[in-house]
Amino acid sequence: MHMVLPSHSRAAQVAYQDLLRLHLDDAASTLLGSVEERRRGGRTYLYDRFRLGTAMKSRYLGEGTPELRARLARAQDLRADAEARRKTMSRLARTLRAEGFIATDRDTGSMLAAFARAGVFRLGGTLVGTAAYALYQGELGIRFDSDELAQTGDIDFASFERLSVALGDQVEENPGDILRALTFDPVPGLGDRQVWKWRQNRGQAMVEFLTPAFGDERVKPLPALGVSAQALNYLNYLIAEPIHAVALYRAGVLVQIPRPERFAIHKLIVADRRRGGPEQLKSRKDRGQAAFLIEALAQDRPDDLAEAYEDALSRGPRWRERIEASLKRMPGTAGILKELG
């Protein structure tokens, strides 16, 4: 028996998709030169190759999807439409606020906007954690309870070390410098001088950079983003094939977040990793977010959910044990996943 999930109006869902499309158009309109293709590991990556003074420069644009290629082919027209597009984006953002979309708070919004301008998301950075969960209101067209979205104060970014090394491009402004300007102080690591965590000196907010571990959970550099990151197991599953989303701050900020079905299943895994003390509370929150998304996805995107669940289960006994341990405490969610067949 599925519960009835509160949905955003049709008008709000259309406005969100339009706003996302316009932000993607806006990103493609910044093409300065010609599109260059580079192939690595069976994937094609697109670069903007342009002259700066006497030197040729390359700026990473994204993976060579048909959607991105089509946008880049229209870059000149998109550039000409910039002013009208910005006005429409502001109008759509107002519509979403009026329709009950929960906006991103000013501190988080200004940070995301600065990171977006610097190229953090363009260069493979993915917003994870509760800040990403909040953005599924647009992707899935579902109303969230504002209590559910109460920020823990933690904002986490993740990226693949391999991708960061392979891209051969760097952020235009270092995230550490951006964070210092926003009154965050670096929290140095115990064993070495690599910084992957910043704490806001006038509040509780914490920003962390993470990267997938494949066994050894140590700190690794992410050269494209100009930061170090704490490696964590299971994260490779979460941030594979991320999607674009718009955070509702001013006229919107284009970011990258995990696929909702992967986010939901990953929460089942991390909920079991957290044991005792303050971690207990986070574990309950993880299970709550997983339950809500699985309920929604089972109704609207059952095939995506089934595929993500099967994928996680197929990755070995440790993965299955963690998922099963969480589902033992979530009989309703376990029943939904069983029904997927």
Give the pLDDT score at 41. Answer: 81
Residues with Cβ within 8 Å of residue 302, at least 6 apart in sequence: 340
298-to-95, 140, 251, 259 alpha-carbon distances in Å: 28, 12, 32, 14
Predicted structure pTM score: 0.92
> In 3D, which of 95, 94, 86 has the Cα closest to residue 12?
95
> Within 10 Å of residue 67's Cβ, how many Cβ atoms?
12
pLDDT in tens, 274-309: 766 666 778 888 899 999 999 999 999 999 999 999
Nearest to 154 by CA among 189, 128, 115, 177: 128
Band of residue 335 on the pLDDT scale cut at 50, 70, 90: very high
CA distances from 205 to 107, 109, 126, 200, 300 (A): 9, 13, 18, 5, 34
Work out the pLDDT band at 164, boundaries 50, 70, 90.
confident
Determine the residue type at 8.
H
Does residue 191 carry a pLDDT above 60? no
Q: What is the rounded average pLDDT for all residues in the chain?
A: 90
- List, for residues 13-60, the tens digit of each pLDDT value: 999 999 999 999 999 999 999 999 999 888 899 999 999 888 899 999
Would you place residue 1 in the very low, low, confident or very high pLDDT band (cuts 50, 70, 90)? low
Average pLDDT (141-167) is: 80
Alpha-carbon span 307 to 302, nearest angstrom:
9
Least confident of 98-107, 145-154, 193-202: 145-154
- pLDDT for residue 190 is more than 70: no
Q: What is the pLDDT of residues 201-212, one digit of tens each?
A: 877 788 999 999
Q: How large a percentage of the chain has pLDDT more than 90?
A: 67
Distances (CA, A) of 329 to 28, 284, 291, 302: 46, 10, 11, 22
Token pair belonging to 162: 């391999």
DSSP string, 190-232: SSSS-EEEEEETTSS-EEEEEEE-SS---EEEETTTTEEEEEE
> What pLDDT, on the 0 to 100 scale, is given for residue 285?
87
Q: Which of 2-11, 137-146, 162-171, 238-247 has the highest mean pLDDT?
A: 238-247
Q: pLDDT at residue 200 above 90?
A: no
Angstrom distance (rounded) from CA 211 to CA 129: 13
